[in-house]
Amino acid sequence: MNRLPARIAAVMLCTIVVFVLTVGVSNSWLSRALDAQARDQSLAQIRNARDNLLSQVRLTTLDYAKWGTAVDAIEAADLD
C-alpha cells in the first residue's frame, strides 16, 4: 500500500509532462503555420501593389508620350 501514492504521483507527473509537451509542440506548429500564411499573404499583396503601380506608371507615361498629339488634335478640332 505504501507504493500506491508514489505510483499515482508518477502517473500524474508523466501526464503533466505529456500535456506540457503537447501544448508546446502545438503552439510551435501553429505559430509556424500562421507565419507561413502571413508571409504568403504579404507576398501576394506586394505583388498586387507592384503590378498596380506599374500599370499606373505605364498609363501616365503613355499619356505624357501622346500629349503633343492630343494637343494638336484638339487645336485642329479633331475630337476623334
pLDDT of residue 56: 94
User: Measured in whole angstroms, how far is the alpha carbon of residue 79 from the centre of its chain?
Assistant: 47
In a domain, 19, yes or no: yes
Q: How many domains does the chain have?
A: 1
In a domain, 80, yes or no: no
Domain span including residue 57: 3-75
The dihedral region occupied by 78, where left means phi > 0, alpha psi between -120 and 50, and beta the remainder, is: beta
**Cell 498596380 maps to which residue?**
52
Convert the pLDDT of each residue in 23-59 to its tens digit.
999 999 999 999 999 999 999 999 999 999 999 999 9
pTM of the model: 0.59
pLDDT of residue 79: 67
